[in-house]
Amino acid sequence: MIEAVTTRPESSPGSRILVLRAEIRHQNLGAGIQGPGIRYEVSELRWGLSAADEARQLVEMLGHSVEHAPEGRVDLLACSLLKSREGREVFDAIERETKCNFAASDNKTGNPKNGGDWIMESDNVDIRDDYFMNTDEFSGTFAAHGSSAGEGVSEAEVERRIAEAKQAAVDEAKAEHEQRVESALEEAKRAAEAEKQAAVDEAKAEHEQRAKSMQEENKEAVEAEKQAAIDAVNAEHDEHVQSVLEEARLAAEVDKQAAIDAVKAEHEQYVNQL
């Protein structure tokens, strides 16, 4: 089964990327480019190392769309991609960064009568029957070629551009790391402030509880002292009343005895007179 899907990259609205999907042992993907020109050159290392790079997102999507990834294969149908030094660097970077299996050619990809073939030299596989039928009835080759007879820019320039791209990736990773560290520090600061506030609130609540307990204890002590004073007054009063009553009783006894003695004396006197 062959399925064709096209998409238009945001960076080049006039171009279309044709993706052909074939089920042969493993599901393979073939990516070809169709656009306004008849020739595309890989003369610069434009495939970015940044995760946000559009080209990187595309090849990562392709690489992880095959079955049994990373063993499944993505065929890049671009003529002579591996012919130039830049093309090889881009191809190696794609496989290295995506950790997926890609295949490409170092010569023209297309019908033999037009000087092409269907061999992906990187993996030494023939893709003629994977994506197309009756290829001999058509003419032409894919319109993407290496630059300047495969010579490309100087090796020093390639190394410079690679180093520049790597440095950009390092700078981006460093900035991301610094952002994460800053976020972590900010989060730690917020957590410390929250813990500090929680400790303050807890101490405040404990202080208020202690103050309340002390007030309650003081109130109870005052009530106890008050009751003790009342009890002491009551006891003193009871004792005084008891003393007064005792004195009254004794006085009454004396008066009674005096009255008895007086009556008795009067009686004896009366008897004596008789």
On the question of pLDDT at 185 being above 90, the answer is yes
Q: What is the mean pLDDT of residues 71-77?
A: 77
The pLDDT of residue 182 = 92
Task: Tell me which residue of 51, 268, 262, 46 sits closest to 164, measured CA to CA.
Answer: 46
Indicate the helix (H) or strand (E) that contains 56. helix 54-63
Most confident range (mean pLDDT) of 2-6, 54-58, 165-169 is: 165-169
Distance of CA 130 to the CA centre of its chain: 44
28: which 2 tokens? 């393979």
pLDDT in tens, 86-117: 788 888 888 887 788 888 888 888 888 878 88
The pLDDT of residue 14 = 39
Q: What is the mean pLDDT of residues 59-69?
A: 69
Lowest mean pLDDT among 75-79, 127-131, 153-157: 153-157
Lowest mean pLDDT among 124-133, 154-163, 191-200: 154-163
Q: Model's pTM, two decimal places? A: 0.43
Residue with structure tokens 């058509």?
138
Residue with structure tokens 């900010």?
186
Residues in the chain, total? 274
The pLDDT of residue 258 = 82
